[in-house]
Structure formats: structure tokens, C-alpha cells
Amino acid sequence: MTNPRFQILLAQHYGMCFGVRDALTEAERVASRRPATILGELVHNEAVRERLSKAGALEGQLEGESASTADVIVTAHGASDRDRRRWKNAGYRVTDTTCPLVRKAHVVLARLVLEGCTPVVIGKRGHVEVRGLTGDFPGAHVVLNEPEVEALPFSRRFGVVAQTTQPIDRVEDVLEKIRRRHPDAEVVFKDTVCHPTKARQKALETLCQEVDFVLVVGGHNSNNSRQLVEKARRNGCRSERVTRSGEIRAEWFSDTRVVGVTAGTSTLEESVEEIVVHLESLGGRRKVLPRPNAAAAFSGKKLAV
Ligand code: SF4
């Protein structure tokens, strides 16, 4: 079947953020020098996992009791101080690749607790970053959907932060629901959604005005890639998520004029390039060449948290 020609448009901001890039560089550096175990998935991306596996890194569990190497690596998603201390006290050499913006969310939440607030995290229950955020505060609440907000017990003062990769419009919506649920409470909100997530979400909104179909390149268990697909659909575009070119179905583009491409914050540039090259092989023509990613142009290590 000959596919009709379509244009390929890349989002202004897409793909790997500085937090993931720095974590990956550090984990590869450690694993190439001595045996090391990553405590969980460094990031939710299969290509990154393969790359780390090639560098010799093993995978373990943050909540586990032991690892088969003397070196362990805390992932970009972070960990509670309790877990970090537990591994150190057990004699392991701990390399911490927590993203500075996740660390900042921890600091902000701790300050809110010190100020007497009941801690609340707007985020996905069970997500590793959220587990890390709440791990030092047994009384913390995690809310995202209506029933979770309804179940939030009254407090005179709530201190609210967000999982760094939640879309800000969703966070604001949940915040409004909390305020409506507890009109007599003071709700102190600190916006901890990271700016690379905001930049990718914003760029997607712009992209959706120009395309019919949005292809999101990202891991199957990546929260922010899933959020990008949902947002594209809410903005009136058909959208699918793929990790590799082999998952692409040519019929998706049979009545498509322009295909937009974006990628989650844990997606490697080479994965995006592989997808674009495959789209070209299906008759697509690249309208705009990938531009340097402004959010990736600096290192989070320079940020004060
Ligand atoms: S998505 Fe945001 S918080 Fe997560 S690693 Fe990237 S910059 Fe850091």
C-alpha cells in the first residue's frame, strides 16, 4: 500500500530533560567503574534501561533489604530520607541521582510540615516519586481523583505540593476540589510541577493547533508520556504512544495531513530520531528539523533547592 504523503512536525520542547540526562550520565559513570545496582528503574524508559544494562548496571528494589553489589544508585525519582539512610546504614555506597527538582519538592513539603500543615501530595498513588515524597511523613495524603479528594480528612491547614510530572491544569483542578471539599481550611499550595514538564505540555498545546495526529515517543510506564497522549486527545488530536518504530501502524496516517511528534522527559533523542526516520519511510516529510531543547541546555545541578 502506498501511503499518502504527510508532514512531520516536531514540538518546540520534547524529550529528555536535564534531570534524566544528568541521572543517566552519573549512573553510567558509576556502573562503568564498578558493579552497581540501581534501586528501581532509573527512569521509566525501556531504551534507557537497555543502555544502563549494557553499562553493567543491575536492577534492584528501593524498598528491598539488600543488593548484590556494594554500590547502589538512587534514581532520578528520588527516595525518602528514611530509605536513603537505611541503605547507607546497611553499609552500601549510595550514589544519589535524584533530580534537583524532585529534591526541591521534598524540601518544600518538609517546610510545610514544619509550619504545621497537614501534608498533601497531588499525584499518582504508588508512583515511586510520590512514595519518596510521602515516605518521611506517615500522615501524608495522596490525592488525584474525586474519591481521593472526598476521602481527605479535615485539617485546619493543608500544605499541598504536586508530583513534578503532573500537568499543571490537572493539579489546579484538584486543588480547587480540595478547597471546595474543605472551605473552612487554609490550603497552602506550592507549585512543584517541574518546568521541563510544563514546557513540554505547553509546546504540545501549540503543536495540537497545527497537526491532526500526535505521536508520543515514550516508555509504556512513563507517567509524563501518558499525560502527553491524554492532553493531545483533549486538544482534539488523535494520539498514540510508541517506544519503537516497529509499534507504528501505517494506517494511523491514512487520512492525516500533519503528524506531530513529541516525547516524554525520559525519552532519548535517538529514539525520537528513529521514529521520525520511520515516518519518513512511510511517506512523511519533516517540516521542521529538531531544534536544540532549551530545557536541556543547562544542568539542574546549578539550581538552588
Ligand atoms: S521530569 Fe522534571 S522532575 Fe523529573 S527528572 Fe525531569 S526535570 Fe526532574
The answer to whether the CB of 101 is under 6 A from ligand 1 is yes
> Domain-by-domain residue ranges, the chain?
6-16+195-296, 18-99, 101-189
Is 129 in the active site?
A: yes
Domains 6-16+195-296 and 101-189 share a fold: yes
Of 28, 41, 129, 274, which is the active-site residue? 129
C-beta of 27 in contact with ligand 1 (< 6 A) = no
Distance (angstroms) between ligand 1 centre and the Cα of 5 equals: 36
Split the chain (305 residues) into runs of 10 and give each run's mean pLDDT. 76 94 94 94 81 89 94 96 96 97 98 98 95 95 97 98 94 98 98 95 95 93 87 96 94 92 93 95 80 46 38
Torsion sign across C-alpha atoms 66, 50, 231, 194: positive
H, E, C per residue of 26-87: HHHHHHHHCCEEEECCCCCCHHHHHHHHHCCCEEECCCCCCCCCCEEEECCCCCCHHHHHHH
Question: How far is residue 137's CA from residue 270's CA, in Å, rounded to a whole number?
Answer: 39
Q: What is the CATH number of domain 6-16+195-296?
A: 3.40.1010.20
Q: Where are the beta strands (DSSP E) in 163-268?
A: 186-189, 213-217, 238-242, 258-263
**103, 165, 168, best to mutate for ligand 1 pocket (most atoms within 8 Å of CB):** 165
What ligand 1 atom has the least distance to the C-alpha of 105? 3
- As a whole number of Å, the CA-based R_g of the chain is 20
Per-residue model confidence (pLDDT) at position 84: 96
The counts of H helices and E strands in the chain are: 10, 13
CATH T-level topology, domain 18-99: Rossmann fold (3.40.50)
Query: From atom 2 of ligand 1, which residue's Cα is the shortest distance away?
Result: 194
How is residue 137 written as a grid cell? 511523613
Domain 101-189 has CATH 3.40.47.10: no
Our answer on whether the CB atom of 237 is closer than 6 Å to any ligand 1 atom is no
Q: Which pLDDT belongs to residue 51?
A: 85
